């Protein structure tokens, strides 16, 4: 379905180029996740150090929980089944917008 959509949008793009574009997007998504994870770890280490220096209460756990859920959702989007659902939705939306023109 993705290949057909790519050909509908850009008829001059070959199947090989379409696969390359799709792979490039996937690599960009994975890279974005790893950057997000790296920043999360750095900030949590910093906040954890501040919280240890200040002492109780352990407010850093709330930050860890909230942001951790965001990192988990990002991972599921990039590596899980949700990425396929999102891609299907994107294809449907693009087709809808193209048919309105």
- Report the number of distinct structural domains present in the chain: 1
Query: pLDDT at position 50, please?
Result: 95
pLDDT along the chain (101 residues), means of 10: 52 74 87 97 96 92 95 89 74 83 72
User: CB neighbours of 84 closer than 8 A, spacing ≥ 6?
Assistant: none
Give the per-residue pLDDT at 5. 52
pTM: 0.66
For residues 83 and 77, the answer to whether their CB atoms sit within 8 Å is yes
For the stretch 15-38, pLDDT in tens is 788 788 888 888 999 999 999 999
Look up residue 58 and give its DSSP letter: -
Kind plus residue range of the DSSP H or E element containing 52: helix 15-54
């Amino acid at each position: 379905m993705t290949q057909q959509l790519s050909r509908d949008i850009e008829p001059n793009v070959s199947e090989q180029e379409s696969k390359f574009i799709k792979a490039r997007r996937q690599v960009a998504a994975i890279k974005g996740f790893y950057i997000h994870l790296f920043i999360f770890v750095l900030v949590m280490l910093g906040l954890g150090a501040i919280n240890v220096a200040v002492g109780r209460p352990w407010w850093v756990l709330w930050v860890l929980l909230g942001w951790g859920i965001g990192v988990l959702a990002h991972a599921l989007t990039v590596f899980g089944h949700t990425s396929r659902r999102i891609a299907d939705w994107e294809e449907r939306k693009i087709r809808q917008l193209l048919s309105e023109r």
